[in-house]
Amino acid sequence: MRTLIVPCAGRSTRYPDMRPKWLLTHPNGELMLKKALSAVDMSLFDRVYIVIVKEHDKRYDAGLILRQVFPSPKIKVHVLKDFTSCVAETIHKVIKDNRIKGEIVIKDSDNFVGADYSARGNFVIGMNIEHREVSRLAAKSFIKVNEAGLITDIIEKRVKSNLVSLGVYGFESAELFERAYASLSGDKAAELVGGELYISHVIAYCIGSSLASFSYYEAGSFEDWGTLGDWLKVQRRHATYLVDVDGVVMKNCGRYGRVNWSNNEEMLPENVKALKALAAGGAQLVFITSRAEAYRRKLEKLFARHGITYHAMVMGCNHSPRVVINDFAPSNPYPSCEAVNIPRNARLSDYLGKAAD
């Protein structure tokens, strides 16, 4: 049996005054947890356990929501009676309560890791910080690897190498995890970082005591949502932009006159470039225009020719100010909507500011 365990039983203290982070909605409409597991080929596993705590189940209907999001019978929701002292204890309880045997893979719930999940045996998936930007390095565990690709040590919360763990761990057997956990729990845990026992400590013990060797595998992509600040950056990148056509994307003209909606195809190249960059980063573009519905097909062909992709195009808007109304809350904080006013035919990038980041 090969089992995937996804611990979601933490207190989520880095997301204050809101529901557990893994229940938040990603900009694409999915739960954070669904997005976090979207890179995982579930056919590689015989069973999947998503681990939550009773308090979150009662307060937020977490179990019901998870069963709606993950209807597959192989994906099971395991509810702990109370919070554990650390993620290693969470894994221990799941193994014990469900009598799990055979290979296990542990995956964090608050990040996206694009990697090969078919790896077998003992392994850690990580990333080289010299090749890709990784935020909050002080909160990561660092990996030392020898020339054979075997991990010689994994160190929590201290920068000791250029390789960081991304929260995906493989154990050749649940029994190996339990043996190492039993040796580390109790009084020895007080010697660890803040007295908390991390999965990295379990792996380091296995390596240091010659219980097992662990291989290192490099991830192809990574997105971290460990803190609210990380999550808000994702939301910002995937913002929805309501963009006027004439005077912003195309050189302004009207319905009548020598140059008009019927014959004008002059784009504003710098603005087209800026909008395409936003879309490439995940932003959603909604074009709005006073042009009547009869001009839709002409605009669609023109935008396609210039490689402009978009979510929607709204025709026939009033030739008047546009006002965006949106609610704000801790998960979508103030200001939840903004306005960018530019002089007609001006360069958009000069006015986007932070919105262009």
- pLDDT tops 50 at residue 181: yes
Orientation of helix 174-184 relative to helix 87-98, angle to 10°: 130
Query: 239 pLDDT band (50/70/90 cuts)?
Result: very high
Is the pTM higher than 0.85?
yes
Average pLDDT over residues 61-87: 96
For 127-177, the pLDDT digits (tens) are 999 877 777 787 899 999 999 999 999 998 888 889 999 999 999 999 999
pLDDT of residue 191: 55
Pairing of strands 123-128, 284-288: unpaired
Q: Domain residue spans in the chain?
A: 2-227, 239-356
Average pLDDT over residues 212-229: 95
Q: 2-227: what fold?
A: Spore Coat Polysaccharide Biosynthesis Protein SpsA; Chain A (3.90.550)
For 241-275, the pLDDT digits (tens) are 999 999 999 999 999 999 999 999 999 999 999 99
Beta carbons of 322 and 245 less than 8 angstroms apart: no
pLDDT of residue 187: 56
What is the Cα–Cα distance from 244 to 64, expressed in whole angstroms?
A: 42
- pLDDT tops 50 at residue 282: yes
For 318-343, the pLDDT digits (tens) are 999 999 999 999 888 899 999 999 99
Q: 239-356: what fold?
A: Rossmann fold (3.40.50)
Average pLDDT of the chain, as a whole number? 93
Query: Of 2, 19, 200, 228, which is closest to residue 117 (Cα–Cα)?
Result: 2
